[in-house]
């Protein structure tokens, strides 16, 4: 699907709307491998706030969320100031890690490369709780809906497969096509086909998906119990030094 993404147009908009960007990548359905022809573009990233906004008595917004259109499709950009971004990363936070390591790169810098290196230390067993919490939130949302939607079911699979894969391998992979090479589930290509045909509602009995998802949930729990990843994030002092250097560099730019 990457050939259908207007990277140049998205990059131009990101450069115009995000000051001092560190990176901007594509998340959402495009990253997960099941965009529809009319899927919006979800751009996510981090930027360095200027000195007045970071140190002043009246700090500026920590999150920028401009919404625009490119080639007739809605583009949602969410960029956090790097201090906030690193605090999210420390939790640990799989959603943030997926953005950092997204292969769908709209805009990158040397600081993005350094961040990818440093973020390795936050890949730990604690990510289980992130994906478990995400799974719980999705279920609560689905329970409130009177009909079963293809997109929601795909998200359940995506969360479980990504969580299990990272706990087993230490590698963040969010694309369902790639993940399914290890899991071999026949339901995945079927559901993706439904989604890309723009079938909003599930056309068959959901019980077989619930049964399979229950098995996958148990597998993610087992992967957590057996994971050789460190218990909690490490290298946080290096992330702090990274932030301090970015602040110094920004002050130097403003002075000059």
Domain range for 18 is 2-124+232-247
The answer as to whether 113 is a domain residue is yes
Long-range contacts of 6-12 (CB under 8 A, 24+ apart): 6/70, 6/71, 7/106, 9/70, 9/71, 10/41, 10/43, 10/70, 10/75, 10/106, 11/106, 11/107
Q: Is residue 252 part of a domain?
A: no
Residue with structure tokens 């399914």?
A: 180
pLDDT-derived band of residue 56, with 50, 70 and 90 as boundaries?
confident
Residues 58, 73 within the same domain = yes
Based on the domain organization, do 155 and 67 belong to the same domain? no
Alpha-carbon dihedral of residues 158, 162, 165, 169, nearest 10 degrees? 160
In this structure, are 25 and 103 located in the same domain?
A: yes
pLDDT in tens, 218-238: 999 999 999 999 999 999 999
The conformation of residue 48, written as its DSSP 8-state character, comes to P
- How far apart, in whole angstroms, are the C-alpha atoms of residue 159 and residue 217? 10
Q: Are residues 16 and 97 in the same domain?
A: yes
Reading the block at residue 220, the tokens are 């993610």
My answer on whether 26 and 93 are in the same domain is yes
Closest CA to 229 of 120, 132, 130: 120
Domain count, the chain: 2
CATH number of domain containing 45: 3.30.460.10
pLDDT at 2 over 60: no
Name 169's Cβ contacts closer than 8 Å, sequence gap at least 6. Answer: none
| DSSP letter, residue 254 | H
Give the three-state DSSP class for 241: helix
- C-beta separation of 231 from 128 below 8 A: no
95 shares its domain with 42: yes
Tokens of 212: 């399979």
Asked if residue 3 has pLDDT above 60, the reply is no
- Do residues 44 and 17 lie in contact, with contact meaning Cβ atoms separated by under 8 Å? no
Structure confidence at residue 1 (pLDDT) = 44
- State if pTM tops 0.95: no
Q: Which of 53-62, 127-136, 181-190, 243-252 has the lowest average pLDDT? A: 53-62
């Amino acid at each position: 699907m990457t050939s259908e993404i207007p990277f140049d147009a998205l990059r131009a908009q990101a450069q115009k709307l995000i000051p001092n960007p560190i990176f901007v990548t594509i998340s959402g359905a495009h990253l997960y491998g099941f965009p529809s022809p009319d899927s919006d573009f979800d751009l996510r990233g981090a930027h360095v706030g200027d000195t007045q906004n970071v140190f002043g008595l009246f700090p500026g917004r920590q999150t920028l969320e401009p919404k625009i259109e490119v080639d007739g499709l809605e583009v949602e950009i969410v960029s956090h100031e790097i201090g906030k971004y690193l605090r999210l990363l420390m939790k640990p936070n799989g959603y943030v890690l997926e953005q950092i390591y997204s292969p769908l790169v709209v805009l990158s810098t040397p600081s993005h490369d350094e961040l990818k290196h440093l973020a390795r230390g936050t890949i730990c067993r604690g990510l289980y709780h992130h994906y478990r919490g995400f799974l719980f939130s999705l279920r609560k949302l689905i329970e409130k809906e009177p009909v079963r939607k293809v997109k929601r079911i795909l998200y359940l699979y995506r969360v479980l497969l990504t969580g299990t894969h990272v706990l087993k391998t230490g590698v963040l992979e969010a694309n369902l096509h790639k993940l399914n090479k290890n899991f071999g589930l026949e339901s995945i290509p079927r559901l993706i086909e439904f989604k890309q045909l723009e079938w909003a509602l599930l056309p068959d009995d959901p019980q077989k998906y619930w049964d399979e998802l229950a098995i996958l949930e148990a597998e993610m729990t087992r992967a957590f119990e057996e994971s050789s990843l460190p218990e909690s994030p490490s290298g946080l002092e290096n992330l702090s030094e990274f932030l301090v250097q970015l602040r110094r560099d920004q002050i130097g730019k403003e002075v000059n």
